[in-house]
Structure 1
Amino acid sequence: MARLNRTFVLTLLIAVSSVFLLFQLYNYRLSAAKNGFNVLNNKGYLSGKEAHWHLLKRFLGLVHKFKLPVFLVDTVSLALLSQDAVLYRDSQLKDPHCSFLCTHRDFTSFALLGNLWKYDAALLDAASERGLELLEIHGKDPRLISTDDLTAKEIPLHFLFRFNGRVVHVVVLYERSGKYLWHGPLRLTASLDRTFAPFGKLDYGHHAGAYDRPELILTTLDGLNVRIPKNFSGFLHEYSSSHFLECRSREAKAFFQLYPEDTSPEAVDFRMRAKSLLHLASRVLFTLRVPFWLSSGTCLGWYRQCNIIPYSKDVDVGIWIKDYRPDIIPAFQKAGLPLKHKFGKVEDSLELSFQGNDVKLDIFFFYDDGDVVWNGGTQAKSGRKFNLMMHMGPSHLASLFTCKCINFWSQALRRGNP
């Protein structure tokens, strides 16, 4: 009986010890994967930073074979860079050493210059040969859509390469007629695998975006040759205000069916002068690094009919008061736009008016007051002051009609026609 008890106790101890060791091994695997140690799972796949480095190596090998004009646009990786790090060449490293390209996230973002690349269907087979799964996202080409023709062919917008649960996201940038680069939104159809990548966490694709064409340099990061924006801090600054709103061509066409467009010489001339004034204002504010948006009647015209309202007789833009700079007035005056009116003050209801070529530019400054956003206004003739207040809803400013055009033409107008 005593021998049976000893056997039972010994068996129980062995079982408990085995469970404890398995639990410790499980925790070690989790910690290793999180911190980038070189661990193999039960399928023989690498995990952690080494797996991500191998994904990037395979992806960049594919880039080299197909001569894909890609460059790094990952916001976390670019934020980690310093000028010293860019100049530092670590090509002598023999082992994977992923400090910049492998971050705490399971993906890295690159951009592909679509106008310099011709789609090759062999890309899918070549990716598969390297052990990479490839998901392509297509969408309509907005460059072919207008109020006269609402049809457009589909073009590739996003590529996602996956290896061992980690992803390289390639967002395709196309050149628009204003000489700026544009990417489309990432829209998942019902047939696409929604578990393929962490779509909700990706840097790009939640909405369309627009950028200046960056100057690129070739450098070595983590032992891999990678192109990056030379002014990567400037690129990150652009990223924060890159949201691009496409013209609502279908709605504009319906509007003009009810209210035919004014094509008189006077209307055409005013639109040209108003757009020229917007180009100039955009260049001045871009130089000052002051973000702005279309406001009031100018925003209404773009939102409703994809154009300037010909009888508005002025141009309206909005700026956050936190972005106000004392050199705004001198900068506009230097650009040939004399100050016509200055109402209010920085602490309360500031408004600036500049005189262009028979077209007035009104700059309204917006104040963020908790759940309310407001801007002041003053009637030039009577001096009567008024405030326009807007309550912030669940989707914040994006839900407000008057701010639907936020950042439109701050991306497009400074470069040319949108």
Structure 2
Amino acid sequence: MSGKMDFSKQVSALKVRTLLTAVCCVCVISIGYSYFFVHNFHFLKLSQDNIDNQLENIETLLVASRTHTVPLLLFDIDILPNIFVPRSKTWKDTLHQCKILCKHHPEEKNVITFAALATKFIASKEDYINSLKHLGFTVHLSEVADPKQKGHSNPDMIPAYLWMARKKHVIHIAFLHERGDDIKYMWVGPVTDQDWMDTVAAITPAIGEGWHSIDAVGAKFPRYAQGYDLSHRFTGLPIYIDNHRISVPYHIRAFLDEYANSRFIECDHAKAENFVAKYEIEIPQQDKLFQEAAKKMLVETKKIFEKIKVPFWITGGTVLGWYRQCNIISYDTNLDIGVWKHDYKEEIISAMEENGFFFKSKFGTLKEGLELAFLDKSDTKINIHVFSNGHDHVTHLRTRKDGKRFLFSYPPFELCWSEFVGIKVKVYCDSLMYVSLYFGPGWYKPQKDWLWYVNSNHAIPMGHWTQHEWKSVMQVHHRESKKENLKK
């Protein structure tokens, strides 16, 4: 009897648990459904409002820019890849009026980026900003010190970015500044932490609640300075997008590749002035002539390497000059540039020769480690060092004239753009790491008798090439007659 009662109790308890479980499931489903329905109803409404706001703001900005002669270039890395992708409609855009230009991620409110020539903006700066404010935009202008005014204690401030907020939507314009001497390029200024805080404070009241985070927006565009080649792929191509005539980069894919590798770092001019004041008050005329010849050689080398599509960066004593004194070391005897092994082309030799350079020597092999040397008409020398990018280190092999080899090894490094003697070139992003390893702790002082195979503590002796190897790895061209003809 007691067994039957226990069984009945178990059955009753099971029924209660089952009922409670069912009720809980119904509640959860009901709450989930209600949340999903309500949330998505708001989500749909927010999305359509967002699209309408974006479309209206873009139209308003384009009209104002045309009125004040500030042509805009689409500079948005989210939109550019999709310009020529056929799409019948966009997500949640019920009217399909903004298929390409509008972005559709309501939580982030979709900042859209354009670019403009700084000279065009500066010419009508006050009227342009006042017009945007009159049209209902909250406007904030980011400015930076003019890097062209090297050494000025109170340099002019130039525009970096213009931020506009209206109806819970944000547009920003990056300003392109032309720089460079013999080869022009475009430069976009950096945004300091303080300036970003000022930007957030200025535009937050205009976007209201609902934004996921204005700081998240700030993480989506480069806060560092940028450098771009002034070439045909960067030229604006006017096309119609969503019934608007807007300029886009001529070669979008090439532009996007360049954008991804556009980080620019400025030479430290204050540090350079201190060095010059301490060590280079007077430079002999012969050394000045070398600096002039070396600059011309670097310009011509850049043109040649761009033509054959071989990227390079300055290294050795050349990058030391950039880092320490923002100039070519006056008592140096040559230029040094680096090339990645995977970028190296045998075409380099013929291209240099066809452009008036004398092929002096070739030490090593591409597999083991390669170094080329060329002379120009003034006997100025340039060394081309081939670097191998390993899994956790970078190496390059140098060979002394007697055939003894030396290995140099570095931690993995990144390359950034900079300006050196008026030329846009790649340098080590962390140049201090390189010059400290290669030149040792005394790098910050002139060392006129410094020799790479004697004074560099970072050089690892690797023995000599064998006689058989030496014949195959060394090429010295004794074409003195041709060399004399080049000089003539």
State the TM bucket, normalised to the shorter chain: 0.7 to 0.9
Counterparts of 1:9-48 in structure 2, within 5 Å, are 19-28=31-40, 39-40=45-46, 46-47=49-50
Name which of 370, 383, 387 aligns with 1:366. Answer: 387
The answer (yes or no) to whether the contact 1:171–1:204 under 8 Å persists in 2 is no
Deviation for aligned residue 1:361: 0.8
Please, which of 80, 85, 95 is the counterpart of residue 78 of structure 1?
A: 80
How big is the shift at 1:14? 11
CA distance 1:287–1:27, change in 2 (3 Å)? farther
CA contact (8 A) 1:141 1:152 kept: yes
- Counterpart of 1:377 in structure 2 is 398
The alpha carbon displacement at 1:111 in A equals: 1.0
Give distance in 2, aligned partners of 1:29 and 1:411.
60
The aligned runs of 1:44-83 (5 Å cut-off) are: 46-47=49-50, 49-82=51-84
Q: Tell me the alpha carbon deviations over residues 197-241 of structure 1, each in whole angstroms, 9 at most, x when there is no partner.
A: 645433443233243153222111122210112233332343244
On the 8 A contact 1:180/1:211 being kept in 2, the answer is yes
Query: Counterpart amino acid of 1:99?
Result: I
Name the SS of the counterpart of 1:208 in structure 2. Answer: strand
* Cα drift, residue 192 of structure 1: 4.1
Q: Which runs of 5+ in 2 are unaligned?
A: 1-23, 87-94, 202-212, 426-488
Whether 2:199 is the aligned partner of 1:182: answer: no
Q: 2:253 aligns with which of 227, 233, 254?
A: 233
Report the secondary structure of 1:328's partner residue.
helix
Q: Give the residue type in structure 2 aligned to 1:25.
A: F
Report if the CA contact (8 A) 1:282-1:414 is conserved.
no
Deviations 1:93-113 (A, max 9, x none): x85132255376822221110
**Cα distance 1:412–1:56, how it changes in 2: closer, same or farther (>3 A)?**
farther
Query: Is 1:338 aligned to residue 338 of structure 2?
Result: no
Asked whether 1:303 is paired with 2:323, we answer yes
Amino acid at match of 1:201: A
The code of the aligned residue for 1:56 comes to I
Q: Deviations over 1:118-169 (max 9, x none)?
A: 24334444334444332221111111223xx343011221112234544322
Residue matched to 1:247:
267
SS in 2 for 1:143: coil
Which of 287, 305, 308 is the matching residue for 1:285?
305
1:319 paired residue among 323, 339, 362 = 339
**Matched residue of 2:56: which SS?**
helix
2:132 matches 1:143:
no
With the length of structure 2 as denominator, give the TM-score of the two structures. 0.68
Normalising by the residue count of structure 1, what TM-score does the alignment of the two structures yield?
A: 0.79
Displacement of 1:414 in angstroms is 6.7
Seq. identity, %: 24
More helix, by proportion: 2
Aligned to 2:224: 206
Tell me which residue corresponds to 2:116.
112
1:321–1:366 Cα contact (<8 Å) kept: yes
CA distance in 2: counterparts of 1:186 and 1:408, whole angstroms: 17
Distance 1:16 1:80, change over 3 A: closer
* Residue of structure 2 in register with 1:408 after alignment: 418
TM-superposed deviation, 1:251: 0.1
The answer to whether the 8 Å contact 1:366/1:375 transfers is: yes
Give the number of the structure whose alpha-carbon radius of gyration is greater. 2
Alignment partner, residue 3 of structure 1: none
**What SS is found at the alignment partner of 2:294?**
helix
Instruction: Give the match for residue 88 of structure 1.
Output: none
- What is the CA distance between 1:409 and its match in structure 2? 4.8
Task: State how far apart, in whole Å, the 2-side matches of 1:215 and 1:209 are.
Answer: 15
**CA, structure 1 residues 62+353, in 2 after alignment: closer, same or farther (shift >3 Å)?**
same
Letter paired with 2:219: K
Q: Is residue 76–residue 103 contact of structure 1 (8 Å, CA) maintained in 2?
A: no
- Segments of 5+ residues of structure 1 without an aligned counterpart are 1-11, 33-37, 86-93
Residues 237 and 247 in structure 2, CA contact (< 8 A), matched pair in contact too = yes
Compared with structure 1, are the counterparts of its residues 131 and 352 closer, same or farther at alpha carbon in structure 2 (3 Å cutoff)? same
Q: Is the 8 A contact 2:224 2:263 kept in 1?
A: no
Say if 1:270 and 1:248 are closer, same or farther in 2 by CA, change over 3 A: same
CA distance in 2, matches of 1:28, 1:293: 52
Equivalent pair of 1:294/1:407 in contact (CA under 8 Å): no
Q: How far does residue 285 in structure 1 lie from its aligned partner after superposition?
A: 1.0
Amino acid at match of 1:186: V
CA RMSD across the alignment: 3.2
Q: Answer yes or no: is the 8 Å Cα contact 2:266–2:419 preserved in 1.
A: no
* Mapped contact 2:386–2:396 kept (Cα < 8 A): yes
